Structure 1
């Protein structure tokens, strides 16, 4: 989820309307204190499509900080599908996460990029770009990837 809200708060400061979702109340308490103009929801990402407080659809969903590898094992594809259902046509899912022990707070990666891309494809998302860093460095097969998947057909 959004954790302490660093990304959502920065986007809101730039004029974007943001919603942060996390299932850790202590993280959301910090997020709310730092970003009172952001909508914060206490929930599990796998349940985001059943939230009464979440009626909107999004142009962009950002999953930064190893969100996907830290999901409960076995829920990854369900969360990707839930996110995809909340994207407008042409909307983007941007997820950055580690792929090896050096880039994860885990002893090993719970899955690889092929798995993640398959979950995205099953959810109707198409890989648009992949980078090695959040700064847009070319992905060369290293231990960290930032993947940009688009809802609907790829638009060039």
Structure 2
């Protein structure tokens, strides 16, 4: 899922405390509409739950992820499927694909141009690209609170494009966009009172980089105090997610 060198993944925590990541992705599969016999790539497969869901339609699917621990866990859970460690910016395929699916991955990938080029090269003419990832304004309140507390700017490691920015990038690489939407989706975080802190520890490594344990806990406390009035309902935190959802088709005969 990640190509950010400061981000380290814990597959067990990902599947338990942060299972909403792949659970929300199940909705995006409806846009993919996989068919039996198709060859599909799950780009940023994580621990493989959505790869398995695609396989259950009868499609032939391979999952790739940049994180070896994620791929190992996916392979252990779904030994009948194919998983590989590969970078979204430079992956290649043995034969052109019918579809490429990606959930909650591409906001980690910089520069985005390299990923789009790899995607376009891997698809057959008429092949489909379906993705959902963080869009413009995603977790803006959380990032802003951390930057305020740390008195530092530009800490975000992510790429959160607008619809116009990303569709232009796809079109420049021979992919015709047939659907695009920017969706506000306040997302409940697990672990009740600890939900925001656990989210930052799991996904916000770059936001907390350079801090020792005591300083990290102090920043987390201050950030929670700032965000609590409008992001904590008394029992659960809700992250200010905005998701960009796109469907595109590779041009050609």
In the aligned structure 1, how far is the partner of 2:91 from the partner of 2:174?
Answer: 17
The counterpart of 2:180, out of the listed 123, 130, 134, is 130
Larger Rg: 2
Task: Determine the structure 1 residue equivalent to 2:103.
Answer: 64
CA RMSD for the aligned pairs?
Answer: 2.6
Task: Determine the structure 1 residue equivalent to 2:10.
Answer: none
In the aligned structure 2, how far is the partner of 1:104 from the partner of 1:85?
Answer: 36
May I ask how many residue pairs the two structures share in their alignment? Answer: 139
- Say whether 1:40 aligns with 2:83: yes
In the aligned structure 2, how far is the partner of 1:56 from the partner of 1:33?
Answer: 26
Deviation at 1:113, TM superposition (A): 2.1
Deviations 1:102-131 (A, max 9, x none): 489866663322221122111100111224
In the aligned structure 1, how far is the partner of 2:175 from the partner of 2:87?
Answer: 21
- Say whether 1:147 aligns with 2:184: no
User: Closer, same or farther in 2 for the Cα pair 1:105/1:39, shift >3 Å?
Assistant: farther
Deviation at 1:20, TM superposition (A): 0.9
TM-score where L is the length of structure 1: 0.78
The counterpart of 1:101, out of the listed 135, 138, 147, is 138
Flag the structure with more relative contact order, 1 or 2, with Cα contacts below 8 A and sequence separation at least 6. Answer: 2
TM-score where L is the length of structure 2: 0.50
5+ residue gaps, structure 1: 134-141
Structure showing the higher helix proportion among its residues: 2
5+ residue gaps, structure 2: 1-43, 145-155, 184-240
